[in-house]
Amino acid sequence: MNDSPHLTFDLDKAGVSRGYLVVPKGADCEALSLPVCSISKGEGPRLLITGGCHGNELEGPIVARRLIKWLPEAQTCGRTIIVPELNPLALQAWTRNTPVDGKNLNRVFPGRADGSVTERIADAVSRVLLPMADTVFDLHSFSPTWDFPPAVITHPIADAELMAKTLKIAEAFKLPVTLLWEYYDTPGMFDLTAHEQGKVFICTEFGGGTVGAEDLAIYEAGVRNAFIALGLVQGEAKHPIFQRQESSQTLETLSSDILTSPARGIFEPRCSILDEVKQGDLIGLLHPMDSLSAGSIDICAPTTSIVCAIRSGLHVEADEEIVYLARPLKL
Amino acid sequence: MNDSPHLTFDLDKAGVSRGYLVVPKGADCEALSLPVCSISKGEGPRLLITGGCHGNELEGPIVARRLIKWLPEAQTCGRTIIVPELNPLALQAWTRNTPVDGKNLNRVFPGRADGSVTERIADAVSRVLLPMADTVFDLHSFSPTWDFPPAVITHPIADAELMAKTLKIAEAFKLPVTLLWEYYDTPGMFDLTAHEQGKVFICTEFGGGTVGAEDLAIYEAGVRNAFIALGLVQGEAKHPIFQRQESSQTLETLSSDILTSPARGIFEPRCSILDEVKQGDLIGLLHPMDSLSAGSIDICAPTTSIVCAIRSGLHVEADEEIVYLARPLKL
């Protein structure tokens, strides 16, 4: 019996190989076997694609499964390792966090070999898979109660060279938005561990609201564009069509660009994602729910900006985030 | 003290009046006061608009509040009574059903004066408000885990004259879809009580997925078109723009048009709402979640039809509804 995390197959074998990443058993549950597909075509870039970090974000697992269908034929060099479902326990339970230990996989990296199951998954990924790749695409989804464009998100990285390299690959997806998000990374995020190992880490955040056939097609086209940019696949990158347009923009969101609800009530959005707003423009209304005579509260743009994400017309609590504004990134 | 449901103000007063519909207290909770706005401009059609029957469907309350802003000036005759939030207890709790008694307001009509609070709300609406109107617009929302076009839904009505009158007003909204849905009405639905009183009952079902500014604008434009058709407001009806098109179609969905999931897993939508599909066309895939090698299951169109509603790319249980097909209505 092997008590260390390991792969059940030889990733270096030429062609397509399938097997499992084994996460050893612990006090809280039995060993897990995460399905892994590897496509090896000799020398070249080494890419790791992960989906299903959170069990309620399904664009990633769906798109990863699609890649497994066409990539074996399309890939001409290098190696791609695909793990569609990083956290099968959360996926089976349809929850963001792992039900066994209540932990968020994206907050426990690099994990612990002797930890609870979520920490053991992170440990297996950090020690077995991450060293085998130079670049990671981690496929996430935005919240279903927000409207959000297909986007690649990256956070500021202290290492200027890695930051530039990351932004370049992020933009190669040619998605409607590449977002540099000033977000104070919480300890335990996957990207921090990847950065520590010197890897380019790309987080796609798709969806928000309905996950439809068109969203999935955009998602897949973006990933294909990145494959082409990396040189793993031959072909011409194409702008996916979003809101009937072919366009990409690189934006920046600062912490001060996030607007919160002034009270508990119903949020009424008055603008749409990618709308440009000027200072004072109405972004939405907050309706108190107790009386028709209690006036609604206007929520206005504090500065000229682009609406990057906006809550659906739904209940919100006081101080809940309702809008992310952004502006063109100037480096 | 008045132990019967009643209004706190005189609806017949000319102009705009505001007050409350009082739902008497019972064993389970104190009396409720539902905000009501009435716009009386003399002789003419008598319309009742209700929103917030279900506490998790907020397009209705938002649009009803918008109407209260512009209708007082725009309405030229007749009377409109607006109750944006039929079930304030469910809205406050952000739940479909009333938390106090766990009941679905749209399953307890005509209600009971000596019943639990949800039944008392239905009783107040049935006995106080409904007799004061000839036509009812009940503003609902479709599920957030589906993609669904802005639509007016009606079920088959045995009374042919009422059916024809209802369809005519439904089509006057000029929304992308007017849907005649073969649905075996569950006892206790609001429309059954309205039909028993000989009223035209129109149910709008908007949204599904993200409720954005554009959806709300379409919703409001549809209601405005219906006001014009009824003669309450002067002006020209305009097709709201949906998916960058101006179009309306009247469709029919039979019980046999509802496809369900063949297994538990992840549903991957492969077509979009209002797509036309031919027999055998791929509508979506069902992915089992336990293994990458377990094949996905194709879900194909059983007959030439139009996709009226489709589940988001999300987890589904076996036998859960995933697609509503439809076809042009032939009367």
Which residues of chain B have a pLDDT value below 70?
Answer: 1-2, 184-185, 208-209, 289-294
Across-strand partners of B57?
none
Contacts of A228 by beta carbon, 8 Å cutoff, 6+ apart: A172, A234, A235, A236, A237
Q: Is A316 on the interface with B (CB under 8 A)?
A: no
Decide: A146 and A209 in contact? Cβ < 8 Å: yes
**Using CA atoms, how far apart are residues B29 and B33, in angstroms rounded to an integer?**
12
> What's the pLDDT score for residue A244?
78
- Closest approach of B296 to chain A, Cα-based (Å): 10
**Using CA atoms, how far apart are residues A307 and A152, in angstroms rounded to an integer?**
16
- Residue type, position A30, single letter: E
Q: Which of B208, B27, B15 is nearest to B116 (CA)?
A: B27
> What's the pLDDT score for residue B245?
82
Decide: B16 and B37 in contact? Cβ < 8 Å: yes
pLDDT tens track for B77-109:
999 999 999 999 999 898 999 999 999 999 999
Q: Indicate if the alpha-carbon torsion angle B286, B292, B293, B294 is positive or negative.
A: negative
- DSSP conformation class of B233: B
Contacts of A166 by beta carbon, 8 Å cutoff, 6+ apart: A154, A157, A200, A201, A202
> What's the pLDDT score for residue A211?
79
**Using CA atoms, how far apart are residues B134 and B136, in angstroms rounded to an integer?**
7
Q: How many helices (H) and strands (E) does chain A have?
A: 6, 19
> What's the pLDDT score for residue B185?
64
**CB–CB contact A216 B315 (8 Å):** no
> What's the pLDDT score for residue B1?
47
Q: A157 is written with which tokens?
A: 């990285």
Average pLDDT, chain B: 92
Give residues 88 to 107 of B whose Cβ lies within 8 Å of A: 88, 91-92, 94
> What's the pLDDT score for residue A80?
98
**B-chain residues near A68 (CB < 8 A):** 292
- Residue type, position A327, single letter: R
> What's the pLDDT score for residue A209?
63
> What's the pLDDT score for residue A1?
47
Rounded to two decimals, the ipTM of the complex is 0.89
Q: Which of B72, B56, B101, B97 is nearest to B14 (CA)?
A: B72
**A-chain residues near B215 (CB < 8 A):** 313
Q: A291 is written with which tokens?
A: 């009386």
- Please tell me which residue of chain A has the smallest CA distance to B242: A243
**B-chain residues near A61 (CB < 8 A):** 266, 287
**CB–CB contact A211 B310 (8 Å):** no
- DSSP conformation class of A128: I
Nearest to B210 among A62, A209, A244 (CB): A209
**CB–CB contact A210 B146 (8 Å):** yes
**CB–CB contact A292 B216 (8 Å):** no
Across-strand partners of B20?
B35
Radius of gyration of chain A (CA): 21
Q: Is A295 on the interface with B (CB under 8 A)?
A: no
- Report chain A (331 residues): mean pLDDT per 10 consecutive residues: 86 93 96 96 97 92 93 97 95 93 97 97 98 96 87 92 96 96 83 95 82 90 97 94 86 93 92 96 88 78 96 91 94 73
Decide: B105 and B32 in contact? Cβ < 8 Å: no
